[in-house]
Structure 1
Amino acid sequence: RGKWSLETAVYLMAFKVLCPNKVTLLRGNHEVRLLQLNYSYKAELLRKYGEKHGTRFWELTNRLFDKMPVCALLDDAIYCAHGGIPKSAVTVDQINRLPREIRDPQAEAAIAWEILWSDPANRDDFNDTCAARSVDPETTNGFVFNLKRGTAFRFNQQAASSFLSANSLTHIVRAHE
């Protein structure tokens, strides 16, 4: 997302090719076709490279994005994802059962979609979101609809701690904000 989207993607992919055991690329919420149509990626490619080549670059990069993992574990202790933890999966084993290729995460894999879009919330933000949705925070298991994004969930400390504990993990590292 930005003025040099393709160049940035190719640059990162080159690092992965040159250092396959030192670079891990994770899929984010903008590595999804629908978002690219609503934001600037496809339009940028068409503007820079024309209809034929721009469309081809868009298709090729998306074929790669479709195969990128949505999360990773570092040293079997640190959970890494673009967005956050999924409400639809308690364990990393459930996440590992996702298909290796997901073209449309929203339609094909709720767990993947939640990982791409979910955000943490501090106690006050979480309670405010629950109040806006007329939901009792005590009944949510630490997840509430993400009003900020309009999709997926906000998760609180309870949900994060439960996920970490269920998977014998120590930390969550994310990049969505």
Structure 2
Amino acid sequence: MILWAWKVFMPHRIFLLRGNHESKYCTSVYGFEQEVMAKYGSQGQHVYRKCLMCFEGLPLASLAGRVYTAHGGLFRSVPASPSKKPKGKKGRKNIVNPEVNSLSLGSLEELLKARRSVLDPPWEGKNLIPGDVLWSDPSMKPGLSPNKERGIGLLWGPDCTEAFLKKYDLKLIIRSHEGPDAREKRSNLGGMKEGYTIDHEVESGKLITIFSAPDYPQFQATEERYNNKGAYIVLKPPKFDIPVFHSFEAITPRPKVNAYYSYEDVLDSDEELDLASMATDTGGQPSPSV
């Protein structure tokens, strides 16, 4: 709400991008819906629907100078659907299914054309770019491959980072999406103790993961904590391509706050929750009229 207030106050200075939790499924699982209901009383349902509308309309990515930013990262190329249904057996044989077609890196032109107005980005079908941009993760393995741990999005290697940077004359890809809990399971990538990592360093530039929540997760069922720092990046004009990192720690002792979801009963990791969301098959449905 504070960020939206800043956006309203300075619409040409504040730019907000969508994250993977700005969906109907994640807002219900992680407590946002319950918090809105508790704080807004009889108007809670109305406020929650309006929030979903705002989430649905947020941009997926941005370009600032020579920097590409997105929550998850890169995305696949999805073949365009034919304007007319093909006739005859020969035409039917030529229909391309993007789910089984070989993966190739998508373009900014395709990103601009993608239908981003979806409450829960689909994990199957033809409108796959929003899910990729919000849910994908970097890998040290070359090429593109399905992100099986999450059940949605892709894994992309250093070669894809280089190809994307070189094609668009960029120097940096900045993304988030992975905290210390996620990186603990990926020993071939940097940890998140300082709030950021440089995951790919290629000829044309760098891929950076930034995570701004210190001492994450906030609510845990165990005494052991990651005690990670959060971080933010300052980029200066004209090209915005020289990152200056600033790390910070959580306030101690942590203030007592309410959890609006049963974190002791929730699945252990984002990855497991992501797979659970796929099983519910909520993705890709158009938003209700509000």
TM-score bracket, shorter-length normalisation: 0.7 to 0.9
Map residues 21-60 of structure 1 onto 2, 5 A cutoff.
Answer: 21-50=12-41, 52-60=42-50
| 1:92 match | 108
Deviations 1:108-162 (A, max 9, x none): 73101100000112x2xx3xxxxxxxxxx6xxxx112223323211111011111
> How far off its partner does 1:26 sit?
0.2
Q: Work out whether residues 91 and 166 of structure 1, in 8 Å CA contact, stay in contact via their aligned partners in 2.
A: no
Letter matched to residue 17 of structure 1: V
> How far off its partner does 1:97 sit?
1.2
Letter matched to residue 176 of structure 1: H
Query: RCO higher in 1 or 2 (8 Å CA, sep ≥ 6)?
Result: 1
2:68 to 79, 83, 92: 79
| 1:64 match | 54
Identity %: 32
TM-score by length of 2: 0.48
| 1:161 match | 162
> Which residues of structure 2 form unaligned runs of 5+?
78-104, 179-290
SS of the equivalent of 2:166 reads: helix
Letter matched to residue 104 of structure 1: D
Are residues 1:116 and 2:107 paired?
no
Are residues 1:146 and 2:147 paired?
yes
Q: Work out whether residues 84 and 174 of structure 1, in 8 Å CA contact, stay in contact via their aligned partners in 2.
A: yes
RMSD between aligned alpha carbons?
1.9
> Which residues of structure 1 form unaligned runs of 5+?
1-9, 127-136
> How far off its partner does 1:100 sit?
5.9
**Which piece of structure 1 moves more, 94-103 or 66-75?**
94-103
Name whichever structure is richer in helix by fraction.
Answer: 1
Deviations 1:47-87 (A, max 9, x none): 3333x422111100111111110000011x21100111102
Q: Bigger radius of gyration, 1 or 2?
A: 2
Work out the CA distance in 1 between the residues paired with 2:170 and 2:109.
13
| 1:5 match | none
TM-score by length of 1: 0.76
**Which piece of structure 1 moves more, 54-63 or 38-47?**
38-47
